A and B are shown apart, each in its own frame.
Chain A
Amino acid sequence: MPEGSFVAILRTLSGAGVDFIVVGGVAATLYGSPGQTFDVDMVHSQEPENISRLLGALQNLDAIYRIQPERRLRPSASHPASPEHQNFLTRYGPMDLLGTIGRGLSYSDLLSDSVIMKAAEDLTVRVIDLETLIAIKEELATEKDRAMLPILQRTLEERRKLGYTPQQ
């Protein structure tokens, strides 16, 4: 069976040495939340060296902006350096790069609230911790966030009952 698109995107970024933290629905899934998502969301380091590595990875992923796919607009260095959200379509499917999440939390802000998890047998990625993911969704409280919150909160409760470590 060919490698899934979520893992392929993560593997490409990881292989290029990009510093990023997986957030959103893929992070929730890694923690055992039975939700649904179609894209990979991540907060990336905005250090110049990382932006350079990221641009190389985006090129390998054949990433174009999702807003007008027919124009096949590609990112330049200034775009991933922005705190805004960048929504891409890649050769492996949709991927969103988030300069910040919540109330302006950046990669460096989130580092201490993240853990390393196995996304595949031979691939580890940094993932926002479930408590922080829930706190950000509670704070944002958009309709989509509110819809997801009960599932995330019950997942956290079940994990605690089972005594799971953050990496499990």
Chain B
Amino acid sequence: MTPGDSEPLTDYSEDGVDLTLIRWMLSLSPAERLEVLQQHVDEIRNIQKLNAGR
């Protein structure tokens, strides 16, 4: 749904899920969504490596 549609947009669902993140992910293609996940995982692994042994 986009702004201007009849149903009002909400940022969070009643159970606390960030719907804006879901809508952003849905704006991407499935392959792009997988790239986003890959980038996050790579970044987390890099941070873990930088902090290894601390």
Contact = CB atoms under 8 A, between A and B. Distances in A.
Interface in A122-168: 123, 150-151, 154-155, 158-159, 161-162, 164, 167-168
A161 B13 CA distance: 14
Interface size class of B (residues with CB under 8 A): 20 to 34
Contacts, number: 82
Interface string A23-44: 0011001111110111000000
A32 B41 contact: no
A32 B38 contact: no
Contact of B37 (A29, A151, A155, A161): A29
Contact of A4 (B1, B13, B21, B38): B38
Interface of B: 1, 13, 15-19, 21-26, 28-31, 33-42
Interface of A: 4-7, 25-26, 29-34, 36-38, 117-121, 123, 150-151, 154-155, 158-159, 161-162, 164, 167-168
